[in-house]
Amino acid sequence: MSLFGKFLKREDSGDGGTVSIEEEQGIVYSPVNGKVITLESVDDGMFSEKILGDGMAVVPSDGNFIAPVSGTVESAFPTGHAYGIKTDSGLEVLIHIGLDTVNLNGKGFRPQVRQGEKVKAGDKLAEVDLEVIRKAGYPTETMIIVTSGNQVTGIAAPSAEIKAGEKLFETKA
């Protein structure tokens, strides 16, 4: 299979659950269906100024979130709004669902993983009721940040529609 073909190989379980991904090292996949936006366009300096690291963001079109890489869940906030995954190669990725959503104290979030668990790219991380977030007045943008300092390259085009499990960007040590 060609390199390009591997990026497009995805099988959805059909139930909003696990997505089968033919994973490649250094690739970070979209954790959710939606529209790609740049970190610079996120209305929070912590992300837009890349204080935590580089990456991309996705405005989700549904509430089914999957792991964008394989590894160990190093952090899983009890509120369900953020997850940190570390790959076997040392790449660390933060998935932060929405802005200021920690203030919801878990309302609208159904975590599917716990800290210390091993996940494969495509495994379900969380089910999120996006309407709960919107009704509370919070943006739903989801930031996917490389916190280990790796360079982010080969990013998906901003404003493009993306499906969970499709390549969002590449990383280099």
Q: Which residues are catalytic?
A: 96
DSSP 91: -
DSSP 3: H
Query: Do strands 142-146 and 92-97 pair parallel, antiparallel, or not at all (unpaired)?
Result: antiparallel
C-alpha radius of gyration, the chain, whole number: 14
What is the enclosing helix (H) or strand (E) of 152?
A: strand 151-153
Query: Do strands 54-60 and 64-66 pair parallel, antiparallel, or not at all (unpaired)?
Result: unpaired
Of 150, 139, 38, 49, which is closest to residue 93 (Cα–Cα)? 150
Residue 24's φ and ψ, nearest 5 degrees, are -125, 140
Q: Using alpha carbons only, give the angle 152, 13, 93 rounded to the nearest 5 degrees.
A: 20
